[in-house]
A and B are shown apart, each in its own frame.
Chain A
Amino acid sequence: MPLGALYPDAIELLERAGVDVSPLRDGSRKLIFTAPDGTVFITTRPSDVPTYVEAGSADIGIVGRDVINERHPDVYELLDLEFGACRMAYATADGVDPTSEIIARLGVLRVATKYPAVAEAHFLATGRQVELVKVNGSVELGPLVGLADGIVDLVATGRTLRENGLVEREHIFDSSARLIANRVSHKLRAEEIDALTARLAQAVAAESR
């Protein structure tokens, strides 16, 4: 279970799919919760979800596509859960987009991001050299204080960008929450995982209708 922005929606979707999520609602600071039916919920930072699933510590996990694209974990991506919708984007300060001018005159673009692998792949694929500055929070600061020319970050409503005088320049990919499964659990617990996936797919479809 990813703590943070996806957490409430993840709980709600699981509940609509008939999973007993009552232990997750008790507001405790525990990291592991066991439901009466024996289901164990492990809560962790979103970026660690693929690590636990890939290592088999968890059979299945819920995580944003952004984390999957950054980490490329060796797991099955089973279902688009459709909540937590947002997009990965490249943004620079308001005004004229300085990107092509910087590439032409300096040859290399400096980009601040929490997603170095995603950013590097995007600029490589578009034939531009990039120098990445890895930051852990408040990426929007980068262009404002001269740390970087632009940022690559997740954008939900665009409000944070606007309030910090940044403009979205390039759309990289759309993200939303995904259901992932460990390669071995997906086979050893095939029947259980397929049943849960089907219930979640129904719940997702009912929501979007």
Chain B
Amino acid sequence: MNVLMSDCVHSVHTLNVSQTDPQISAVGALPNGARDVLPIEAAELRAVEDALRAAFSRYGYREVRTPVIEFAHHLERAESGGLDRAYRLFDESGRVLVLRPDMTIPVSRLIATRFVDHPGPIRVAYTGPSFRVPQPGKPVASEVRNAGAELVGADGPEADAEIVLVLWEALRDAGLSQARIGLSDVSVTAAVLEGLGVPDQIRERLSRAAEARDFVAWRTEAAQFVCPEPQAELLAGLPAMRGHTDVLARIAEVVPFAREACARMTRLLELLAQEGLHDAVLVDLGILRDWKYYSGLVIEAYASGAALPVAQGGRYDGLASRFGTSRPAVGFSIEVESLHRAITDGARARDLEFGIVLVGGLDEQLTLSARIRAAGIVVIGLAAGDSRGEALAEAEGWRFVGVQDAGGLRILDRADGTSFVSARPEEDLSSRR
């Protein structure tokens, strides 16, 4: 892959230096899970984020930013145990701070405290890094860039459908052609357990099995609860149920108490089908997470080439009330790096960048440089007589190299290896676009 090869050019330079200077090799080491981003990846990540942001703003989701550091007790209020893997530090008066371990909770805090007079519904979007202490032995970054959207103050399957649609379009616009969206609803699961009269103790253990994605433990626990067929079979197989509206029809038939929850999700699926998402969506009741946090819809987005979901989200109506304002909320968060990796998986060779390395562009050819830039062409300036022109163009992937010659500017076109002398480089270069 060309992308990787060009990155190697940079690494090789560092390597040469570090071999001669042990101090630099020590400086090159980073904290566990941290990493640098080099120019090609940075540009691609920016393009991905730009596409995501454009999709969010088409639906009127306006950007907000929250601080990287927050008071630990504020975030702990929202998610007990959620701060286990957060980086902690102290402020000048000894209060515990955290680097935000995700974006959803700070954004919920922001909406609950800064949009008090907003008539609603509130649509906000964000992009930014969050931080988690990496687990030993797992290839997980300590800093992850998230891009997400939140729809607050709107209830019901219609709001859920918009959020799923925004997620779908954002992923598509970022270049993910084959996304699949998995949907579940904790209120369906809760209604089944309630309707069957499963006691709290077993429910607690089922919840733990579901969070661990352990269907074997779920079946073992479900077997502790004695009930007639077909209810017993439904309960045992609940997290393994998947498909489309057929799943919900089956549940509503066996457990009438769950009818309302199933009807809500069926309506969501109908709305999504109208938008052309029928085939992209998979109803999967195995997608269960922390029941205390989510109150309805649970969303995951999958891409081949990513080992974990590239986006997660759902409805958490109770979250805002922990910050003082009670409003229904649904949203999602995309992991930008993992999305980028899924998009570049199997990428073709990279094109040369349209720009000219101009020897003399730093000093003797300032007017010419300005003229070429004015024509919308990138000029990378070198001092006159600098012999590194071609090496620089190769290392950074620029298409042209220009050196002043007797008859004008001698230009090498690295796309086909030809060279020519030009009196009006801005025109000759533009014609090669």
Interface residues of A (CB under 8 A from B): 54-56, 74-80, 178, 182-184, 186-188, 190, 194, 197
| Chain B 216-247 interface mask (CB, 8 Å, partner A; 1/0) | 11000000000000000000000010100000
B186 interface residue per 8 A CB criterion: no
Closest to A54 in B: B307
Report Cα–Cα, A54/B139, bound state, in Å: 10
- List B contacts of A56 (CB < 8 A): 305-307
- List B contacts of A54 (CB < 8 A): 138, 307
In-complex Cβ contact of A77 among B138, B180, B213, B304 (8 A): B213
How many residue pairs between the two chains, A and B, have CB atoms under 8 Å in the bound complex?
A: 54
Prevailing SS type, chain A contact patch: mixed
In-complex Cβ contact of B308 among A79, A80, A183, A188 (8 A): A183
- List B contacts of A187 (CB < 8 A): 180, 182, 282, 284, 300, 302
Q: Are B216 and A74 in contact (CB under 8 A)?
A: no
Report Cα–Cα, A79/B219, bound state, in Å: 9
- List A contacts of B331 (CB < 8 A): none
Q: List 11 A-B contacts (CB under 8 A).
A: A54-B138, A56-B307, A77-B212, A78-B215, A78-B216, A79-B216, A80-B216, A184-B309, A188-B180, A188-B302, A190-B282
Report Cα–Cα, A95/B212, bound state, in Å: 39
Further 7 A-B residue pairs, CB within 8 A, beyond A56-B306, A183-B308, A184-B303: A74-B213, A75-B213, A78-B215, A187-B182, A188-B304, A194-B240, A194-B242
In-complex Cβ contact of B307 among A55, A79, A178, A194 (8 A): A55
Q: Are A79 and B215 in contact (CB under 8 A)?
A: yes
Closest to B308 in A: A183
Are A74 and B242 also in contact (CB < 8 A) when A187-B284, A188-B302 are? no
Report Cα–Cα, A80/B217, bound state, in Å: 9
- List A contacts of B306 (CB < 8 A): 56, 184
Closest to A79 in B: B216
B286 interface residue per 8 A CB criterion: yes
| Chain B 50-76 interface mask (CB, 8 Å, partner A; 1/0) | 000000000000000000000000000
A47 to chain B, nearest CB (A): 11
Closest to B303 in A: A184
Q: Are B216 and A178 in contact (CB under 8 A)?
A: yes
B118 to chain A, nearest CB (A): 36
**In which size bucket is the chain B interface?**
20 to 34
- List B contacts of A78 (CB < 8 A): 215-216, 240
- List A contacts of B180 (CB < 8 A): 187-188
B353 interface residue per 8 A CB criterion: no
Q: Are B286 and A184 in contact (CB under 8 A)?
A: no
Are A76 and B307 also in contact (CB < 8 A) when A187-B180, A187-B300, A188-B302 are? no
B214 interface residue per 8 A CB criterion: yes
Q: Are A77 and B307 in contact (CB under 8 A)?
A: no
Report Cα–Cα, A74/B307, bound state, in Å: 10
B222 to chain A, nearest CB (A): 13
- List B contacts of A76 (CB < 8 A): 213, 215, 286
Report Cα–Cα, A178/B217, bound state, in Å: 11
| Chain B 248-264 interface mask (CB, 8 Å, partner A; 1/0) | 00000000000000000
Q: Are A190 and B242 in contact (CB under 8 A)?
A: yes
